[in-house]
């Protein structure tokens, strides 16, 4: 079938090609009668506008780029869901890809810029990634960094308050009567972990409790490494009565590590048989733990929504001042739900 063109629309509506272009682009002062004629012609002959070409001519876009570290990660999946909900609500669509390393990240940015996206929201490939600000800004695109730890103050940032989340989790355990609290998970190179350990440490000092470096244990993400790490921690330091877990998977794995030693998970630390666990950023797999685990959540969906709002605000208002938006944590107390 012959492709329907803008010329066909003009002939069918009995107006000029320029008039059709102005109506489709919502530009100029066109009478309501003429707009109706053009829209009726578009519907009657099945004209489909080339949105990409229109974007190039108008130097605007209805597409937002989103680069995630790992699409399969439940946390980033929620970020993407929140961002998509907000962009679609405001008439934009999302071009999604993932980047597992810095070289791939740079290629993703270049590809999106070539595709004519209106702006890019991105999660760094890792928390210590060097972001070439000048190279990013050379594309002349609005940018928002979505992360668990701040990357660069020259770029808009939307993320959680890691230090406050750790303070909230530590204070919750202290209020339950715990005085010997450990921290398990993450790597020493992680900025997110550093912020959380900082919040944990400052809260211990605030309440006059000891901070013991040997109670802060590194381990990889995943349930098996966490189970091994928590088991070894309790063998070496049986006086520990509560554990803060860096990943949601660490919290789930910690339960298994505790059970291996014939101890149980709970809030009764009177006879040092039960160990309390608090994790960060709950996922669905944690819902099946028994007893249920308490989590401090940073609303990943809300982080995505705020990133979308800030990105759209940038290219609709030409706002170039970098801003930092922090989403406050909330305690999801398993004992009260």
Instruction: Please give the average per-residue pLDDT across 276-295, as a whole number.
Output: 79
- Residue 50: pLDDT band (50, 70, 90) is low
Q: What is the pLDDT of residue 336?
A: 42
235-262: pLDDT as tens digits:
999 999 999 999 989 999 999 999 999 9
Instruction: Flag whether pLDDT at 85 surpasses 50.
Output: yes
Q: Is 289 exposed, middle or buried (0-12, 13-18, 19+ CB in 10 A)?
A: middle
Cβ count within 10 A of residue 31: 8
Query: How high is the pLDDT of residue 52?
Result: 46
pTM score = 0.76
Is residue 20 within 8 Å of 38, Cβ to Cβ? yes
Q: Tens digit of pLDDT for each residue in 202-227?
A: 999 999 998 999 999 999 989 999 99
Highest mean pLDDT among 84-93, 214-223, 272-281, 313-322: 214-223
* Predicted local confidence at residue 56, as pLDDT: 39
Q: What is the band of 115 on the pLDDT scale with cuts at 50, 70, 90?
A: confident
Mean pLDDT of 123-152: 77
* pLDDT given for residue 337 in this prediction: 39
Residues 64-79 have a mean pLDDT of 89
Lowest mean pLDDT among 137-141, 203-207, 268-272: 268-272
Q: Quick check: 302 and 277 in contact, CB under 8 A?
A: no
CA distance 84 to 87: 5
All domains of the chain in start order, with CATH: 6-49 (no CATH), 63-159+301-327 (3.40.50.2300), 162-297 (3.40.50.2300)
Write down the mean pLDDT value for the chain: 86
| CA nearest neighbour of 219 among 261, 171, 253, 196 | 253
């Amino acid at each position: 079938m012959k492709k329907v063109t803008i010329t066909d629309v003009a002939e069918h509506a009995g107006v000029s090609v320029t008039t059709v272009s102005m109506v489709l682009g919502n530009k100029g002062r066109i009478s309501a009668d003429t707009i109706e004629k053009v829209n009726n012609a578009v519907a009657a002959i099945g004209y489909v506008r080339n949105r990409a070409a229109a974007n190039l001519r108008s130097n605007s876009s209805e597409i937002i780029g989103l680069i995630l570290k790992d699409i399969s990660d439940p946390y980033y999946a929620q970020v993407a869901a929140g961002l998509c909900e907000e962009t679609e609500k405001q008439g934009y669509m999302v071009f999604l890809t993932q980047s597992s390393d810095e070289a791939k990240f740079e290629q993703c940015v270049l590809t999106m810029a070539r595709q004519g996206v209106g702006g890019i929201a991105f999660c760094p490939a890792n928390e210590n990634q060097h972001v070439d600000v000048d190279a990013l800004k050379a594309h002349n695109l609005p940018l928002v960094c979505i992360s668990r730890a701040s990357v660069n103050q020259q770029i808009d940032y939307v993320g959680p308050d890691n230090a406050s989340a750790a303070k909230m989790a530590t204070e919750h355990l202290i209020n339950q009567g715990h005085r010997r609290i450990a921290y398990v998970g993450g790597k020493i190179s992680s900025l997110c972990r550093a912020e959380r350990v900082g919040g944990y440490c400052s809260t211990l000092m605030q309440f006059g409790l000891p901070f013991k470096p040997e109670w802060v244990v590194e381990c990889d993400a995943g349930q098996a490494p966490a189970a091994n790490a928590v088991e070894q921690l309790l063998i070496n330091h049986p006086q520990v009565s509560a554990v803060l877990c860096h990943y949601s998977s660490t919290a789930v794995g910690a339960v298994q590590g505790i059970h291996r030693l014939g101890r149980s998970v709970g809030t009764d630390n009177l006879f040092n048989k039960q160990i309390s666990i608090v994790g960060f950023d709950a996922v669905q797999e944690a819902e099946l733990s028994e007893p249920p685990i308490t989590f401090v959540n940073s609303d990943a969906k809300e982080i995505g929504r705020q990133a979308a709002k800030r990105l759209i605000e940038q290219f609709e208002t030409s706002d170039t001042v970098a801003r930092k938006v922090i989403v406050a944590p909330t305690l999801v107390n398993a004992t009260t739900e």
